[in-house]
Structure 1
């Protein structure tokens, strides 16, 4: 069928008839959470012949790429190697979408590696709605033949557990309150916060582990479970010079305008300013902002996550560039979203939204400009690009989840550059990340921890291109649950390099293939990891389906 048809067809329209008549569903695998890892797991499981039910509490699948509105964070070699074939296909389809559906210039169409926004953070800065369309298109054939069923706007409420097995999960339709029971031999937790773990009584960790637990150089002396990374409500905006699109003054604006973060080490200024902590040195770092795109003093935040560069499109196609705001200035670290009373969680979600709107209002009215003026009233909130009435992403950008107590936990000593340095006399030896015999994929990113709710400033240190160990996806006890995103067996520290887009995709894809292999071989995932023959067969299957298990020789990042 025509590729463009799949890219523009609404997946919700395709999915609903498959399950509308039944309150109970059975499948080979139930994937709880439409995160990026959940989508990748669905594609992999379906590709391997399984019947899948995928659930999502918002009305958009795709997690950090879509309902959290974050363009992909990737490593420097992404165009050549270092991701799965299906993730590369996704990236190619995004570029095809712009070239086929948008009025791009001849020069842009000729670019092999088109970057729609020319944002500096990524080689593929693009709109969340385009990511959604592409993901829907990739799933559409499986949805059309009813191999995949999708429950949008359904939230996990409980699980039926017998011993070390999950028998079923119950989801509630957020619109009408009706409940559905889903049963399967296997379940994947692909929620953003590891929501299935407490419901299924699967053992997990949150926040900082102690040095006594992990011996990691950057771990604290005592465990700090309530010390978790900031979350962020992202938003998109364009700039129409000479017009006034100033939003209503947020109720908490006075608080946020004068708020000075209380951090260790100290934050250098008010949060709403052009001065912030340098993530690597923790000293003062001055950034700039200019929606004309001009390079001024320090990094220009306007072009940092710009998702549309209008110069790459026909004249008049866009009235202005479009930039996505996911900055230190709208990171929220005054409270957590897990293992708290619901009222407190809702309070922090509300305040996180207020912070982002306060940032926008400050940008429109009071932010210092290089020409001596204050504010850019022509900044326009683009609620249409994120699919919400308030203009903020449907879901907060989540950096840290509950993490399973896994068969194997990745430590800083396995992937951190300084933690793996070896000396011969006064000379440093070249080092690589720890090789894992049970590798099911690869990834690369710095250990990048944003400020946290316990008052810690950035932890941003070099890491080495790493492998994804199968043991990190498998809980120690529960036999038919697999983790497939930020909930794998990492620590608070190593989560910082395993949480980004291509790595989460690879984790999800490995989870889907793993369950297919477990069903084929009639063994549990833990047995596959333990048995050399079965493990080799799984790894061969992954490689045959385009999953890279090893890195070439590379230097630290």
Structure 2
């Protein structure tokens, strides 16, 4: 017998969690399905601390995201072994990483994400299935009827009125005849200043397979040389340095930057990469913590040699991505130039499997930058948000949230293109969540209607969180009012009613004028 729900969320990403949260909160019988053992996607199973904008401490995120951030800090404040200085400090960085203002152990994030959903699971309105994979679906040209799921013991069919794709790679799209785009669009297609001359669906941003790496001066763990170490050691990047080096791509095409482990001695003006994504700070604890730990998601372990979806060699590329990360860690351990002038290799480092819930110290899943992206009712383009080309910040009538981050295009897998550019604080338009044809599927993660270029700023943690939460409320609104997502998008009365629900739920639809004013001043310089 088939199982039935009002809504099925495929993917326990941050977007998937928040879609399930919003649906459950609105009383919609929901199933949340996650392929891996941990929910949380990029923040947990993928091992990437939260990337956030400069206003995050007071605005620019949903109420639930801000509470989640505070729950993380509260956990550390009340930790029995935390140093006295942090017990009463309102704003601090638990892991002391510099790319995130609130970096923390992924196990702590997992704890609070699970607690967010637990009341709904206990009430029976929400069912969570982890270690469960999507393997098929039944759909017509415009309607999804059911999905086929598989776990360790069985395969089964699940029917629903709505399906929300919250996977990091848009796994539901090809199975449901939902039109989508991958890789780089052409200038003729998008008219974007940074678009490619010719489209290439296989020229994607790289994945990164992160690992947890500890540092302890008393370390005695001996690292073994990875199988592909020599291959990667001899691989020369477009800027004429080995991929296993202290150099990585700069901010502009053809340039390079130098890094170091701790920015000490003659390298004090280079980025300190151990603290870049550090999630455990030993000095924040009085006892019980013997090593600081970072999650290694550096430019040097961006995997630029192939893609892991819509590619016949996907499994091999996953293996090589893991080998690249293990090779980078081994290079740091055995051959990397030391900042302190004491030769080469940091014998103090070691893999820390327990931080990521795995046996090998690698993340459960690869970090995905670029997904399959729906062909949407509205596609967000570079000229909507790039400060160089837009005269002001976007003001979408159908805004369902806000975000901010620079366009950060990592070196791509085919043309090896990369660039970095500034954006206005932006909005998330509802039209980007709704496919052109498929009536009962909603994009709820980084698979919304962005381009190869704009994906580079809409993929971040608080934005994905907002996308999923708004998607969940959209489906709940449609079910309760017997309307379709497209009708909500096109009808001003329905749209305003739905937006009122979002605002009542703590979702900001516009940036404060005080923030926008800073950027308007910049635009006139």
* TM-score, normalisation: structure 2: 0.96
SS in 2 for 1:40: helix
SS in 2 for 1:301: coil
State the Cα deviation string for residues 370-401 of structure 1 (Å, max 9, x = none): 21411011201000100111110000000000
Q: Which stretch of the first structure deviates more once superposed, 276-285 or 58-67?
A: 276-285
**Please, which runs of 5 or more residues in structure 1 have no aligned partner?**
1-22, 421-430
Q: Does 1:393 align with 2:369?
A: no
Aligned to 1:514: 474
Q: Does 1:366 align with 2:342?
A: no
Q: Does 1:134 align with 2:134?
A: no
Q: 1:538 aligns with which of 474, 495, 498?
A: 498
User: Compared with structure 1, are the counterparts of its residues 444 and 214 closer, same or farther at alpha carbon in structure 2 (3 Å cutoff)?
Assistant: same
Q: 2:268 aligns with which of 286, 293, 296?
A: 296
* TM-score, normalisation: structure 1: 0.90
**Partners of 1:157 and 1:84 in 2: how far apart?**
33
Q: Does 1:528 align with 2:488?
A: yes
SS in 1 for 2:275: helix
Q: 2:463 aligns with which of 487, 494, 503?
A: 503
8 Å contact kept, 2:253–2:419: no
SS in 1 for 2:347: coil
Q: Does 1:327 align with 2:327?
A: no
State the Cα deviation string for residues 253-309 of structure 1 (Å, max 9, x = none): 101112112xxxx32411111122212475231111139999734011011111111
8 Å contact kept, 1:268–1:275: no
Q: 2:324 aligns with which of 355, 360, 368?
A: 355
8 Å contact kept, 1:35–1:192: yes
**Partners of 1:101 and 1:134 in 2: how far apart?**
15
**Partners of 1:273 and 1:359 in 2: how far apart?**
8
8 Å contact kept, 2:263–2:271: no
Q: 1:450 aligns with which of 403, 407, 410?
A: 410
Q: 1:88 aligns with which of 48, 54, 66?
A: 66
SS in 2 for 1:505: helix
Q: 2:283 aligns with which of 292, 311, 326?
A: 311
**Partners of 1:278 and 1:225 in 2: how far apart?**
24
Aligned to 1:279: 251
8 Å contact kept, 2:145–2:159: yes
8 Å contact kept, 1:246–1:378: no
Q: CA deviation at 1:433?
A: 2.2
Q: 2:182 aligns with which of 206, 217, 241?
A: 206
**Partners of 1:365 and 1:140 in 2: how far apart?**
45
State the Cα deviation string for residues 225-279 of structure 1 (Å, max 9, x = none): 1000000011111112143323211111101112112xxxx32411111122212
Q: Does 1:232 align with 2:208?
A: yes
Aligned to 1:147: 125
Q: Does 1:461 align with 2:410?
A: no
State the Cα deviation string for residues 94-153 of structure 1 (Å, max 9, x = none): 112222345211211111123111111011011111111110011110011111101111
8 Å contact kept, 1:165–1:479: yes
Q: 2:378 aligns with which of 397, 408, 412?
A: 408
Aligned to 1:471: 431
Q: CA deviation at 1:337?
A: 1.2
Aligned to 2:387: 417
State the Cα deviation string for residues 163-183 of structure 1 (Å, max 9, x = none): 41111101111x23x112111
**Partners of 2:80 and 2:491 in 1: how far apart?**
50
**Partners of 1:42 and 1:347 in 2: how far apart?**
33
**Partners of 1:202 and 1:56 in 2: how far apart?**
21
Q: CA deviation at 1:538?
A: 0.5
Aligned to 2:78: 100
**Partners of 2:108 and 2:265 in 1: how far apart?**
23
SS in 2 for 1:396: coil
**Partners of 2:118 and 2:265 in 1: how far apart?**
38
8 Å contact kept, 2:216–2:292: no
Q: Which stretch of the first structure deviates more once superposed, 432-441 or 451-460?
A: 451-460
State the Cα deviation string for residues 46-67 of structure 1 (Å, max 9, x = none): 1111111000000100000000
SS in 2 for 1:346: helix
Aligned to 1:160: 138
Aligned to 2:171: 195
Q: Does 1:66 align with 2:35?
A: no
**Partners of 2:344 and 2:93 in 1: how far apart?**
31
Aligned to 1:220: 196
**Partners of 1:374 and 1:487 in 2: how far apart?**
43
**Partners of 2:210 and 2:43 in 1: how far apart?**
11
Aligned to 2:100: 122
**Partners of 1:377 and 1:345 in 2: how far apart?**
33
**Partners of 1:456 and 1:125 in 2: how far apart?**
30
Aligned to 1:51: 29
SS in 1 for 2:119: helix
SS in 1 for 2:3: strand
Number of residue pairs aligned between Structure 1 and Structure 2 = 516
Aligned to 1:171: 149
State the Cα deviation string for residues 53-99 of structure 1 (Å, max 9, x = none): 00000010000000001000000000100000011111111112222
